[in-house]
Amino acid sequence: MTLRMYAEHKKIPLEHVSVTLRHNKIHAEDCADCQATTGKVDRIEREIDIVGDLDQSTRHRLLEIADKCPVHKTLHSPVKINTVLTERL
């Protein structure tokens, strides 16, 4: 959605964009660039398919914009989840 909005705003001829995600857990010691050193860490692999008459510079810029989307930022920041139990009468 972020890429689509950016492309429309900048009048980039983006015809189609799709994102495929794969999630798994890996051992921290198998991850050279992870902060954790023990246990398991979540790994998300992202494939972005961009269709349109776009040069390499524009494709690179769209990849940069993808890293600025709110979901990407949330996944890269510390997350605290507060849970409360509610009851219906």
Tens-level pLDDT at each residue, the chain (89 residues) = 899 999 999 999 999 999 999 999 988 888 887 777 788 888 889 999 999 999 999 999 999 999 999 888 888 888 888 999 999 88
Q: Is residue 88 part of a domain?
A: no
- The total of structural domains in the chain comes to 1
How much is the CA Rg of the chain, to the nearest whole Å?
18
Q: Is residue 10 part of a domain?
A: yes
Q: What confidence score (pLDDT) does residue 38 get?
A: 83
- pTM of the entire predicted model: 0.73
Q: Is residue 41 part of a domain?
A: yes
Query: Token digits for 20?
Result: 């495929």
Q: Is residue 86 part of a domain?
A: no
Q: Is residue 36 part of a domain?
A: yes
Q: Is residue 6 part of a domain?
A: yes
d(CA 50, CA 48): 6
Q: Is residue 85 part of a domain?
A: no
Domain of 64, in residue numbers? 2-76
